[in-house]
């Protein structure tokens, strides 16, 4: 019996050496530049997208194996990229991939790939090959929360369709926003990024682990390339294999740049315009709280919904008449003028951190929200409520709310 166990254990370990189940199965750290270059030469692929009925290649980008058969890339590599800046990555539908098929190119050879899932909100997507490709490596997923400004990184990909290209630079900023998506938490890098790099891995030089998925670059701007933190991909990867269920609670709040001038003399009027609060004492206390202690100001609470999906067991897109159903925020008694400080386990510093926290929460799973409220007397009170988000409703209904 012990001999059988020994044989099984050996076979299992041998299997891990050839095709590990995930990056966490790798008991290694890539320490030298040569090791990193060799490894990712066999893990990074070029993605070609073809449209049925057309003879030419429609789009190319990059991707990286994160399991022996699955590849992570950008959603805009999978679907068409709108040309209008006002609708950039905001008008996706399944029609843009209904007649598309995909190939991955690796070391000059092509392999058919199947579309698995995508999430335009985060611009992430997954493709899959039928079986492991001989000689392919699996990218080692790191922890993007440990990335530091000034850290050296490599950007792998296929710029302009040229295979196996790598650039290097440093991380120049974290948690950056540049207006492309509603959910933004970019790693900014100095490593040059060009069209075709999209979907490739951003790799830490210190251990060879993936810290981000390259998303975009700005032409003519040095040090302005962006990557999606790999922790975000790890958080939503189960949904990419099925259905992304984004949370929504039904509140509106100004974006950070919309309040940037509210700190000065005209700040009271700006906050009054957002909230309708006329008491100058309350306005002063709200302004002081937001700018001195942080948080997000609630400027509207949606009361009810109509024709939205509320049943967690129903198929995605099922519409139910719920015109008298109160929104989660309204049921929780969140008010205009409240300042949100914490959502779930996440501290709320500004509008972007709140958006990330709401999106990260699980629909129909109870969580907590902590807020500061100033009473009519001017007294500052802190409250913690339980709240149960629902599935994010269509844009036409949510009207800019979260």
Q: Tell me: the pLDDT tens digits for 43-86?
A: 999 999 887 766 555 567 899 999 999 999 998 888 754 443 33
**Same domain for 342 and 214:** no
Residues 73 and 216 in one domain: yes
Q: Given 224, 244, 264, which residue is the final one in a domain?
A: 244
**Does 397 score more than 50 pLDDT?**
yes
Task: Please indicate, yes or no, whether residues 128 and 189 belong to a single structural domain of this protein.
Answer: yes
Same domain, 319 and 338: yes
Q: Which residues are catalytic?
A: 76, 123, 198
Please determine, for residue 112, whether its predicted confidence score (pLDDT) is greater than 60. Answer: yes
pLDDT at 89: 36
Q: In this structure, are 170 and 224 located in the same domain?
A: yes
The pLDDT of residue 279: 87
Of all residues in the chain, the percent with pLDDT exceeding 90 is 34
Task: Examine the pLDDT at 312 and tell me if it is beyond 50.
Answer: no
Does residue 308 share a domain with residue 174? no
Residue 291 has pLDDT above 60, yes or no: yes
pLDDT band at 180 (very low <50, low <70, confident <90, very high): very low
Instruction: Classify residue 11: in a domain, yes or no.
Output: no
Q: What is the domain-level CATH number for residue 114?
A: 2.40.10.120
Task: Summarize pLDDT for 7-18 with one digit per residue, the tens.
Answer: 333 433 333 333
Report pLDDT for 316.
47
Total count of domains within the chain: 2
Whether 274 and 240 share a structural domain: no
Indicate if 203 and 306 belong to the same structural domain: no
Among candidate residues 192, 227, 244, the one where a domain is terminated: 244
* Residue 8 located in a structural domain: no
Q: Which range among 93-107, 233-247, 258-272, 344-358 has the greatest average pLDDT?
A: 344-358
> Which structural domain range is residue 102 located in?
18-244
Residue 134 lies in a domain: yes
Are residues 233 and 280 located together in one domain of the fold?
no
Whether residues 165 and 23 share a domain: the answer is yes
pLDDT of amino acid 28: 59
Shared-domain flag, residues 223 and 112 = yes
- Asked if 256 and 367 sit in the same domain, the reply is yes
For the question of whether the overall pTM of this predicted structure is more than 0.75, the answer is no
- pLDDT tens profile 244-268: 778 899 999 987 667 776 766 677 8
Phi and psi based region of residue 111 (left: phi greater than 0; alpha: psi -120 to 50; beta: remaining): beta
pLDDT at 319 over 80: no
- Which of 50-59, 122-131, 237-246 has maximum average pLDDT? 122-131
Average pLDDT value for the chain: 78
């Amino acid at each position: 019996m012990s001999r059988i166990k020994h044989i099984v254990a050996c076979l299992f370990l041998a299997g891990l050496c050839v095709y590990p189940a995930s990056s966490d199965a790798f008991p290694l750290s890539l320490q030298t530049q040569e090791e990193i270059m060799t490894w990712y030469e066999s893990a990074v692929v070029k993605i070609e997208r073809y449209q049925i009925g057309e003879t030419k290649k429609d789009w190319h980008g990059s991707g990286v194996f994160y399991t022996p058969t699955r590849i992570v890339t950008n959603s805009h590599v999978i679907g068409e990229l709108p040309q209008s800046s006002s609708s950039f990555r905001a008008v996706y539908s399944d029609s843009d991939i209904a007649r598309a098929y995909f190939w991955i190119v690796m070391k000059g050879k092509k392999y058919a790939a199947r579309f698995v899932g995508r999430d335009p909100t985060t611009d992430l997507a997954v493709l899959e090959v039928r079986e492991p490709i001989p000689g392919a490596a699996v990218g080692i997923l790191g922890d993007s929360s440990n990335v530091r400004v000034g850290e050296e990184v490599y950007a792998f990909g296929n710029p302009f369709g040229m295979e196996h290209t790598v650039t290097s630079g440093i991380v120049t900023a974290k948690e950056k926003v540049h207006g492309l998506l509603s959910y933004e938490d970019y790693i900014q890098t100095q490593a040059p990024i060009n069209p075709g790099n999209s979907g490739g891995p951003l790799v830490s030089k210190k251990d060879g682990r993936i810290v981000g998925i390259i998303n975009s670059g700005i032409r003519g701007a040095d040090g302005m390339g962006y990557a999606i933190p790999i922790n975000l991909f790890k958080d939503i990867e189960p949904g990419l294999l099925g259905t992304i269920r984004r949370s929504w609670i039904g509140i509106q709040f100004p974006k950070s740049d919309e309040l940037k001038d509210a700190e000065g003399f005209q700040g009271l009027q700006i906050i009054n315009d957002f909230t309708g609060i006329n008491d100058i004492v309350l306005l002063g206390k709200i302004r002081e709280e937001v700018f001195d202690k942080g948080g997000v100001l609630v400027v509207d609470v949606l009361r009810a919904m109509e024709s939205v999906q509320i049943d967690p067991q129903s198929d995605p897109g099922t519409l139910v008449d719920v015109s008298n159903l109160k929104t989660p925020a309204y049921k929780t008694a969140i008010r205009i003028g409240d300042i949100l400080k914490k959502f779930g386990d996440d501290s709320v510093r500004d509008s972007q951190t709140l958006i990330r926290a709401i999106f990260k929460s699980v629909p129909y799973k109870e969580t907590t929200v902590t807020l500061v409220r100033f009473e009519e007397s001017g007294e500052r009170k802190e409250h913690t409520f339980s709240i149960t988000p629902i599935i994010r409703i269509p844009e036409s209904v949510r009207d800019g709310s979260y």
